[in-house]
Amino acid sequence: MTSLAVVRKFATDMPFSGLSLSALSFLQPAALWALAVLAIPVLIHLFNRSRGRLVKIGHIELVRNARKLKVTELKLADWLLLLLRVSLFALAALILAGLALPGLSSSNKATVYVSPAWLAAAPPQAVAELLQQYSDKKRSRILLLRNDFPALDEQLVGGIRKDDLQPLKISNIWPLLAERLSLEQHQGNVEVYALDNLAQFGPSRPALPREVSWHLSHYATSNASNPMPVTAVVAYDSQHSADAQVLGAALDSLKAHRLSGLSWNLIETQDLAADYRDVDWLILLSDSLAPAPLADATAAPKVVLTDAYGAARRIAPAQLRLPFYPFSEFRVSRTGDSADDQRTLLSLPDNEPLLQQTQSGATREIHFNSRFIPAWSSIAQQPEFPELLLQLLISDEQRENAFAGAGVLPSQLEIMANASDTPLPRRSLQSLLAALMVLLWLPERWLSERKRRAQF
């Protein structure tokens, strides 16, 4: 049993505290060009440097004994004036640009959603920490994401036993979250605690009706220390060496991210031995049919993936377009239930079967009616091809057990992050800035008048 998750923090566990600079935003960022007017007071300062009014007198000796002014004393007033004016203009520009705070910034009203998988996997101290973190904040709620909302909208209290969570196994928290967020007007931040585990997330990512903060935790299950040993043989004939390389790359990726126990051999078809009982997967890349020994059930491997008939049913690359996030679709599209137990795993838009599975004794035989090289099909170019391969080659029950804790792939993380969620309303700071402007304007006028009358 393996769990080789991509350990990656999706959102840092930064609590949304008070007013931080990063929380500020602009309603009209284009108006920030108005900051260019800051040049005006600076230019005034440069051109209008007060170095004392010049008065020509006949006899300098008369002021010889007077206390000399230092230029710095004059400059101080000048710089102060410059500072005031620059702040005034900056404030004006910020008012134009619409400096705004997140509208619901009161962090003490946070709503915390915890996915059941997280609660099941989290060690007790993590749960205690979570409770501790939100217990002192007034009116913050910690809720469990579950199906029977809102009838069972109970607070998450520390006493939930892990056994109770088993029936709550939820494979897709997107619709749940979207439903909750649209049904209830949430005051304050919404924090979601989930595992970075694929099993929780469904195939598509809806746009949520409001922003949420994600806390994705990675809790390694015991599988991690016990890699599942899988052996594979990739046999190819002389025309299929390119296909073999494509497959090899996919297997590399699988070994790196999913099956650390995977080991495989690349051999040519003429070197095929008779006995494959110890081999889990035999991947046969050849135009000819499977070698005779395979018919013998005693010598057969568990899974055979072959494109032996591919040459006969060549499919032009343009026709082969898999949906972007298709993992689950391989499962749901098992429609063809033919007499000799042949199932179509995946078919093309025109109902031509692409992947067909035949169960013959202990061996599953999967026919791929194309080839892996790019000239034939684009399937190997899809980012999820290793995942597809894995799902084909591993039985459903194996997969459920082995990859429950599998992490979110980097490409999937991106899908989660690039959300088009409705942003929170912003609270404009214009009135505050205007008041500040008036406050600064008064001393500016005073100082400026004083300077004009030269009375300092």
Partner 1 sequence: MERFIDPRTLARVKDMPLIAKTVADGFLHGLQQSHQRGVGVEFSQYRQYEPGDPPSRIDWKLFARSDRYFVREAERESEITMWFVIDASASMQQATDAEPDAWSKFEYARHLVATLSYIAQKQGDNFGLLALAGDHQILLPPGNGERHWHRLLKMLTGLESGEVFPDAAIVKSAISRLQKNSLVFIISDFYQLSNELDEFVNQVSAGHNEVVAMQLQCQDELSFPFKGAIRFEDLETGEQVLVSASSARDSWRKALKKHQKKLLKFMHQQQVMLRSININQPMDQALHDFLSSRQKVRN
For the CB of residue 449, give the shortest distance to partner 1 in the complex, in Å: 12
Residue 185 is a binding residue for partner 1 (CB under 8 A): no
CB 115 within 8 Å of CB 170: yes
CA distance 256 to 375: 27
d(Cα 345, Cα 156) in Å, to the nearest integer? Answer: 41
Among 30, 64, 163, 270, binds partner 1 (CB under 8 A): 64
**Binding test (CB under 8 A) with partner 1, winner from 21, 30, 54, 157:** 54
Of residues 72 through 91, those in contact with partner 1 by CB under 8 A are 73-74
Toward partner 1, which CB reaches closer, 44 or 63?
A: 63
Nearest of 190, 216, 213 to residue 201 by alpha carbon: 216
Work out which of 65, 298, 418, 420 binds partner 1, going by CB under 8 A. Answer: 65
CA separation for the pair 129, 166 (Å, rounded): 22
Does 52 sit near partner 1 (CB under 8 A)? yes
- Binding range to partner 1, per CB under 8 A, among 70-78, 313-321, 340-348, 374-382: 70-78
d(CA 242, CA 310): 15
Per-residue interface string for the shown chain with partner 1, residues 161-180, x marking contact by CB under 8 A? --------------------
Cβ proximity of 283 and 233 under 8 Å: yes
Size of the site for partner 1 (CB under 8 A): 27
Stretch touching partner 1 by CB under 8 A, among 49-57, 222-230, 290-298, 328-336: 49-57
In the complex, what is the shortest distance from the CB of residue 453 to partner 1, in angstroms, rounded to a whole number? 7
Report, in Å, the least distance between residue 52 CB and partner 1: 4
Interface with partner 1 (CB under 8 A), residue from 22, 59, 207, 339: 59
* Terminal Cα distance for the chain, rounded: 83
Give the DSSP per-residue string, 294-319: GGSGGG--SEEEE-TTTTTT---GGG
> What is the nearest approach in angstroms of partner 1 to the Cβ of residue 53?
5
- How far, CA to CA in Å, does 291 sit from each of 285, 302, 370? 12, 15, 19
Q: Does 453 bind partner 1 (CB under 8 A)?
A: yes
Q: Given candidates 30, 60, 157, 318, which one binds partner 1 under the rule CB under 8 A?
A: 60
Residues 6+ apart with CB under 8 A from 57: 63
* Nearest approach, Cβ of residue 64 and partner 1 (Å): 7
Sign, CA torsion 263/264/265/270: positive
- Residue 312 in the binding site for partner 1 (CB under 8 A): no
67 binds partner 1 (CB under 8 A): yes
Closest CA to 36 of 117, 99, 96, 78: 96
Residue 283 makes CB contacts below 8 A (sequence gap 6+) with 232, 233, 234, 235, 247, 304, 305, 306
State yes or no: residue 413 binds partner 1 (CB under 8 A): no
Token output for 158: 């520390």
> By CB under 8 A, is residue 63 in contact with partner 1?
yes
* Residue 351 near partner 1 by CB under 8 A: no
Site residues, partner 1 (CB under 8 A): 50-69, 71, 73-74, 453-456
